[in-house]
Structure formats: C-alpha cells, structure tokens
Amino acid sequence: MKVLVTNWVNIVGIFLALLAYTFLNSWINYPATFVQALFGAFLLIILYGIMFWGGFLIAITILDLVLIVPNPKHLKLKLIIEWVVISSPFVYWALKYEDQRVMFLIAVITFLITQLIREKLINKALV
C-alpha cells in the first residue's frame, strides 16, 4: 500500500502546473486583478475539474493495484502504461476541444513528469 501513497506527487504536480497556467492566462489575457486571477484559477481547477480529479484518482488507484502492487518489477514500463491509459482521454479532449487544448496538454505532460518522479519514490518505499 506504500505505492498508493506516492500518488500525491501526481496530484500536487498536476494541480500546481494547471494552477500556474490558468492563473497566468487569467492575469495576462483578461482584465483581472492578481487576487481575482488566483481565486478564479483555483476555483476553475477544483470545480471545473471535479470530474477529472475523481476519474483520475479512481483510475490511478485501480491501475496501481492491478499493475504495480502485486509485482513491482519493470516499474518504469508499468508507470508509462498507466500514463498512456489515463492520458488517452485527455489527448482526445485536447484534439476535440480547442479552447481547453493547452490545459489538457499541460496536464498530460505534467502527469508524465510526475510519473517519472514517482518511480523514484516507489523504489524508495519498496526498499
């Protein structure tokens, strides 16, 4: 179960990357004050992304329990498989919805980076 605890890296990484993007986008491209942009970005990620966060947590937990917990061999490959499976709907949405394309792509790229960081944490936890 130590493997499941390492999912905080994905959650924090994706949240902070999307928060930074939406904050900067709101502050630069729209007539918003610093506080309005920060608060708006936070609400956007939490409320608009509630389906994303729920589905993401369920999917990553199930895939961790199926792929990694029983046998942690070939960990990097399994983490990449998780990334492909979980990211595929977001890549589709990035192609379909032009307005949110950048946000979906940032989430997918950040998820890959945090998966690679998570590999090190899982190896430490299993030792």
The domain segmentation of the chain, as residue ranges, is 2-126
Please report the pLDDT score of residue 32 as a whole number: 80
- Segment 98-109 mean pLDDT: 93
Please report the pLDDT score of residue 40 as a whole number: 87
Q: How confident is the model at residue 7 (pLDDT cuts 50, 70, 90)?
A: very high
Q: What is the pTM of this model?
A: 0.91
| Strand ranges (E), 2-79 | none
* Whether residue 48 has pLDDT greater than 90: no
Q: How confident is the model at residue 115 (pLDDT cuts 50, 70, 90)?
A: very high
Element (H, E) at 105: helix 101-126
- Segment 73-83 mean pLDDT: 96
Percent of the chain with pLDDT strictly greater than 90: 72
Own/partner pairs for 77-86, CB < 8 Å, 24+ apart? 79/115, 79/116, 79/118, 79/119, 80/115, 82/115, 83/111, 83/112, 83/115, 85/59, 86/56, 86/59, 86/60, 86/111
